[in-house]
Chain A
Amino acid sequence: MLNKRPKPGDTEEDLLKFQQEFLSGQITPSASLVKKPGDKRKSSQPGQHESVGLTGSGRDVVQLQGLPSKAPTMSPIPPVKKSRFKASREGKSRHSVSTQDMEDPEHTIDSHDTSTAAILSDIIERDTRSAGIYFPSSSAHGFPTVLHRGFLGTRTSSSREKNTKSIFAQQMENSSPAEFGVIVHDGQSVGTTIHSGRNRAGNLLEHKQDGSHILQGAGVSKKEVERIHYENLSQMASMSEEDILSEQKKLLETLDPKLVAFLKSKKAAKLDEVSDEQSQLEVEKQVTVETSADLVSKKEVAMETSVDLKAAGDTFKPEVTNEDLPLEVDKDWVHMDVVESDKLAWMKDLPPPRADNSQTEQPARFDFLGNVLPGDSDLPVTLGLHHHGDEPERAGYTLEELFQLSRSSNVQQRCLALQTLAKIIIKAKEGCFVHLLQSAILPIVLDAGLMFLLRWSLDDSVEAVNTAALAVSHAVLVNTADEAALDQVFDWPGGVALVAQCPRVTVQEAQEQSGERKEEQVEDVDADVLKKDLIQGLVSRMTILPRLRHYLTVLRPQAPPVLHILAILTRIARHSQTTAYQLMNCPSLIETIVKEFLPTSWTASDVTQPVSCLYGYPVPAAVRLLRTIAQAGRNMAAILVSRHSVLSQLMVYLSLNTCDINLARGEAVSLQMEAYRFWRVCLLYGIGTQQYLDLYPTLMERLTKAQGQRLSDDTLNDLNLTTALINVLQAVVVVAGSEINHLSRSSAEGCADEDSHQPADLLPLSWSHVAGLLLPVRALWEKQKTQIVENFQNKKQSLTLATSLIDFLKTFYCLSEKQIGADTVELLEELEQLSSALINMWRSLGFQAILSYLSHHSNILTEHTQTCGESSDNLPELTSGLVSGQGHPLPILQPHSPVPFITSVLSLTHTLLSVVIGEAYLTSYLRKIVSRTQISPLNSNFFTKFENLLQYYIIKLSCLMTHVETRVHHEAGLCLLTRLQYGDEHLVHDLMSCVIYNTAFVRESQEEELTREGLERMTLSSETTHLRSATQEEVPGYTVAAIEGCCYPPVQYQSKLPYSIWSHDPGSSHLQVHMWYNFDENYLKSSGDIVCDHSTSSPALVHLVSNCLAWIYLLECWRPSHLAQVPVTLRVTRVMCVFLAGNDLFLDRRIHGYLAALLREYTKPKHLDKLDFEADIPGLTCFYDLYINVLQQYQAVSFGDSLFGCYVLVPLQQRHNFSLRKAVWGEYNNILRTLFIPVKELLVPLSYYLEPEERNVELIRLYTQCLFSQTVRPVWAPVMYLIAVHHVNRFMYTQDGRHAALKHLIIKQLLSCPNEDLKKHLLYYKSADADAPHGMTLYEELSAMRQKLITSVRDSKE
């Protein structure tokens, strides 16, 4: 029966009626409410419930006092683990039950889904009324203490009877709550259940073999099992019988006896059955004492080593198959029925490194020694080089990873990372990675913030980290090769002068600041300062000086860090005078160093052993640091001597013989060396003369002793010491000589105040004090000379001593002339002797051998074209040692370098006599210098300075007499001029006034070169006399007088100009070759502004410009090889500037002539091909701007000058950028009215303008426009007309199918063009020909194709 149901139209009454009916009719509802069964657990499987109880009671319950009474649990009953073995037995018995379950589906669902049922069942809010509120219990320790299972035995002895508990439970029982950091509250019993994690399913099969059993765990690969087995065996073998028995007993006690019994029976039955992990132990204990814990730890080791693989899975997604896995998956394992291979991938062995990677780019990885590991190097994982995530199969660490490690919380990792970084940086600086890596390491690490990292590590509280950080700082800042080279150079002539090793930026800034007195400058952030200038940043921003002092005074580290600190300080002192001064003024830093490392007395130690602690011993490195500071300025040297009384300390060391100093011999020698050097620096400042008088007897004794010694390479130490001594004496002589001058001057002025500023106790050194030195030194020199003369060709020996001896002699004779009481006759005799001896020496085979080495040791002639060592811009280095990457020093620094020796000899000869010009070896050396086309990268190297000095003396000597080789010398002078470095300005001035503009040099070449040239020009001009254009204008004929005229004036202003040029870039330590051009342009531009005001140029300017141009032209045709180093583009643009310099400057006849000559020079094909206006031109932002200026100038003031026009035309060649052409044909097409250059007079070959054909549609449009609008006409601009006709014609007839509409349009316009000439030219143009009218040949008749094209267009018009 169907119930009536309410409908939408029903009223309320209807509804009430329905209800009444329904209620009265007792109709059963379609849906009924039923109460849900209660707790499913209670009613469901009794078997399971039982088992829960059973296992639950079997579990060990751990109770800890003091914990809250009830831990909130998520599920009422914790998930229970049963013994699998037991479960399987139960499963059999339960089989029948499950059939019953099938009949009640709800029941079944509930039984399977207990958790949902539990949640869906009553949710009762916890009654918190009676619950106590506890304060959070404070704990003594943050974490529970770690318990070691191995200690079990000692603890369990008391509770033997309960020993069936698990090991963990026993341990918990034995440990007090306090051990876990729990504070026990009274009256609160706390219980918590901790389940021992015996869930490891070991499916173990046993093999019987000589009483021992190999257990095959299904989680472990076969190999691993075997390994464990052998380890077990070996451990067994190492144990005594009692040990084994006691361990066995211990195991038995902990295990369930039932289990033991079961396992025993099982073993007896030889059943291969599933067993528990406990059973494994059970079986094992017969022979093995390997505990499962050990097994677990083994596995974990394996895990660690293969952790990387997991990450690798992300990167290259290997198809992980079951075979790859180190374990076989058993089907009985829980939740392993579906093997999730990718989750197990981490267990796999590492794949072999891929060899193909070694070809492609990949981040470099380094081992702990700082070597780059090649991509395919296969190293064992046990080296510890694989602990990183990226590229797990590759050994080693990237820089990034090392940076990360160095911030690790683990001290050892930090140390290791820093040490590795230090080694890498050292190797990088040595240039070991040049061929291995793409980019330099040093700039990268510095950019990455290495310095901040170092500061952080320097502040670390762990000393080992500090030491490592110091090592890294040392590696970054100090270039050991540089330091060694500077030490070597110190004894060379001119080697005492130190160059500030600070970046260019700093110098410029310093200049700016001195100029404008720090006008509210925006403070740079630390990072910016560091980026600009590393050392300045370290000193001013990172306060490294107090930090280092803290180490020295408070931490007092071992020897290596101390040496590192001293070396770093030395480098800081080298940076600049400012930093050296800051170093000086750092409170108590110098005091500490002097006190600790320059003691007056120290205990004798075992000299054969290396010293581990340097405190209380004299340290040569400390003296070296002080010497470097002293080198930075006289004031600082004076402070060191007066305030810290360094010199008196050093005298203690110097007064002793090396063998009497209680130090190792090498240390003692270097200590004395450094002491001598420090003294020499002081003496050159005029300080420390008193000590000379005090020490005079000792010094004389040393000198006489040196005569008796056999000084050769075998006794290098003695040799070096004697060299240092002689250098000190030379400095003394200098002081004594100048002191006299000073005294005589002051006495002449009759002023006693002069002396008052000198310390009263300082006895002025007089010449008589040093006169006695001459004899022993000369004797020593004679001996050295004989050795060189007789032996040098056979046996090379060190020339350092000879060098300093000659220097001494030179200084001595130079000054002795000026002394008041000098016996001139005797002096002359001596000089004569010396010079004859010198000439004898010069002719000897030995000296010839020395001369012949000169080319070989030249920095400039070196074959190595690149320096390999890395350096960073903000940390300038002298890049001394490393030319070839194999650690060969620079040629000039190689052993037996003759450079200093010859320099000294030359300077001696220069002071005595000029003898030796025309010497074959010297000339060939210069010849090589001059003929070298390739610019050596070492030209700007600091150490080339010494070679420059040598060349300077050669050239200067050659000035003294006329000879045949003046050309070579002059060219060498030009070369040298471009190479001279900052600080050698006086040489430049001297060279300019004596050599470069010396007519003696110029005249020579004039006669042969210029007469020839003059002849050439004569023929040229005679050919072209019928042409009126200025391009063919005769270049002013050269006469000797003319050259002199143009060469002398430059001398006057050149002498002041070069300095102004220098002031533009003093930071660049050498002059640029294009100095001439710079000066030319600078001068013209600045004067050009003035000139603009006047309608005519001042005669002075005309004179100046014409002289400059004359000089340039001379160089251009006379020393072309020399100018080859300057790009042609640069030269052309600079000459173009002349047009901008004045409104009628170029109209001056002389200037016009030179400009024409230069144009002819530059339009030679070899130059034209090299022109590239896209390239970077120094001094110009871009060529386009300059060109626009030139065009405007041409429009405004040129008077249609055809020379100017020719210059304008140069950049219009097809190979240059089309934007230049566009400027002429578009915006500045007024030019076309006045650009009258006949086709025949074009200097650039016509084809350069016509080929390749123009493809740029925009330009074609412009050409067409200009042609049709008559802007370009053959009468006004023949060349331009030809160019336009050529390109438009070619474009019109090109059959490439593109721009058809435009072509059509052009032809259409052309046909309607009223100008018949243009029509004819455009239609019938054949090719360019300078001789034909309008410069073009025309077709008599159009080809059929073209005719057809024309007609088709014409037809389409109609």
Chain B
Amino acid sequence: MNAPPTFESFLLFEGENKITIEKDTKVPNAALFTVNKEDHTLGNMITTQLLKDPQVVFAGYKNPHPLEHKFVVRIQTTSDYNPKDAMTNAITDLISEVSLLEERFKEAVKEKQEGE
């Protein structure tokens, strides 16, 4: 009845940004990234990827409320680096990793089909 339309979980509202950055005032070299219309799937991936970065001091994400389709990533880096770069690098790495996965998967499928 009063259930929100299902597209709300993945379609950005009018004028809504996919990602916003906010600097944390209390901790040095730290920032909050709010990613809209995403959930644990991406949050967990990004955070895990960030934590692999030795220059990242802290990375964590939180879904403020299960009905709010967004998550907040908190990143703190060493002083010679900044959270934004860390985020960008993490995302780039993730993309290349995923495309590698895709490529290999396709190869494997092709091999399999040729094998037949």
Contact = CB atoms under 8 A, between A and B. Distances in A.
Nearest to A1146: B26
Interface string A1139-1153: 000011001100000
B65 to A, nearest CB: 7
A1234 B26 contact: no
A1143 B64 CA distance: 10
Contact of B62 (A1093, A1148, A1197): A1197
Nearest to B28: A1199
Interface residues of B, number: 21
A1198 interface: yes
Nearest to A1147: B26
Interface in A1177-1231: 1195-1200, 1230
Contacts of B32: 1095
A1196 B74 contact: yes
A1200 B51 contact: no
A1199 B64 contact: no
A1196 B61 contact: yes
A1197 B65 contact: no
Contacts of B25: 1096
B113 to A, nearest CB: 36
B65 A1200 contact: no
Interface string B24-58: 11110010100000000000000110010000011
Most buried by B among A1092, A1147, A1199, A1200: A1199
Interface in A1088-1139: 1092-1093, 1095-1096
A1196 B27 contact: no
Contact of A1234 (B48, B58, B62, B64): B58
A1233 interface: yes
Contacts of B48: 1230
A1147 to B, nearest CB: 4
A1144 B22 contact: no
Contact of B65 (A1092, A1195, A1230): A1092
B29 to A, nearest CB: 10
Contacts of A1095: 22, 32, 72
Contact of A1147 (B27, B51, B62): B27
A1199 B27 CA distance: 8
Interface string B69-92: 000101010000000000000000
A1198 B58 contact: yes
Contacts of B65: 1092
A624 to B, nearest CB: 61
Contact of A1230 (B22, B24, B27, B51): B51
A1196 B22 CA distance: 16
A1199 B76 contact: yes
B26 A1198 contact: no
Nearest to B64: A1092
A1195 to B, nearest CB: 5
A1148 B60 contact: no
B58 A1200 contact: yes
A1197 B74 contact: yes
Nearest to B71: A1196
Given A1092-B65, A1197-B74, A1230-B51, A1144 B26 contact: yes
Given A1095-B32, A1230-B51, A1233-B51, A1199 B62 contact: no
A1281 to B, nearest CB: 16
A1195 B64 contact: no
Contacts of A1144: 24, 26
A86 B25 CA distance: 125
A1143 B62 contact: yes
Contacts of B62: 1143, 1196-1197
Nearest to A1201: B27
Contacts of B22: 1095
Contacts of B60: 1195-1198, 1234
Contacts of A1233: 51
Nearest to A1231: B60
A1156 to B, nearest CB: 15
A1208 to B, nearest CB: 13
Contacts of B64: 1092-1093
Most buried by B among A1093, A1096, A1200: A1200
Nearest to B29: A1199
Contacts of B59: 1234
A1092 B66 CA distance: 12
A1357 B73 CA distance: 46
Contacts of B24: 1144, 1199
A572 B64 CA distance: 54
Nearest to A1200: B58
Most buried by B among A1143, A1147, A1196, A1234: A1196
A1148 B57 CA distance: 20
A1198 B60 CA distance: 8
A776 to B, nearest CB: 75
A1197 B62 CA distance: 7
Contacts of A1096: 25
Given A1093-B64, A1199-B24, A1234 B57 contact: yes
Nearest to B76: A1199
A1147 B27 CA distance: 8
A1154 to B, nearest CB: 16
B76 to A, nearest CB: 5
B76 A1200 contact: yes
Contacts of A1236: 57
B94 to A, nearest CB: 17
Contacts of A1200: 57-58, 76
A1027 to B, nearest CB: 17
A143 B60 CA distance: 94
A1236 B24 CA distance: 20
A1200 B57 CA distance: 8
Contacts of A1195: 60
B26 to A, nearest CB: 4
A1116 to B, nearest CB: 25
A1199 B30 contact: yes
Interface in A160-193: none
A1233 B48 CA distance: 10
Contacts of B72: 1095, 1196
Nearest to A1275: B54
B100 to A, nearest CB: 22
Contacts of A1148: 26
A1230 B52 CA distance: 11
Nearest to B57: A1200
Contacts of B47: 1230
Nearest to B34: A1095
Contacts of A1147: 26-27
A1195 B71 CA distance: 13
Nearest to B58: A1200
B35 to A, nearest CB: 14
Contacts of A1230: 47-48, 51
A1199 B74 contact: yes
A1198 B24 CA distance: 12
A1234 B30 CA distance: 14
A1092 to B, nearest CB: 6
22 contacts: A1093-B64, A1096-B25, A1144-B24, A1147-B26, A1196-B61, A1196-B72, A1197-B60, A1197-B62, A1197-B74, A1198-B58, A1198-B60, A1199-B24, A1199-B27, A1199-B58, A1199-B74, A1199-B76, A1200-B57, A1200-B58, A1200-B76, A1234-B51, A1234-B57, A1234-B59
Interface of A: 1092-1093, 1095-1096, 1143-1144, 1147-1148, 1195-1200, 1230, 1233-1234, 1236
Interface of B: 22, 24-27, 30, 32, 47-48, 51, 57-62, 64-65, 72, 74, 76
| 8 interchain residue pairs of minimum CB distance | A1196-B62, A1147-B26, A1200-B58, A1196-B60, A1199-B27, A1199-B58, A1234-B58, A1233-B51
Given A1092-B64, A1095-B72, 5 more contacts: A1144-B26, A1197-B60, A1199-B27, A1199-B57, A1234-B60
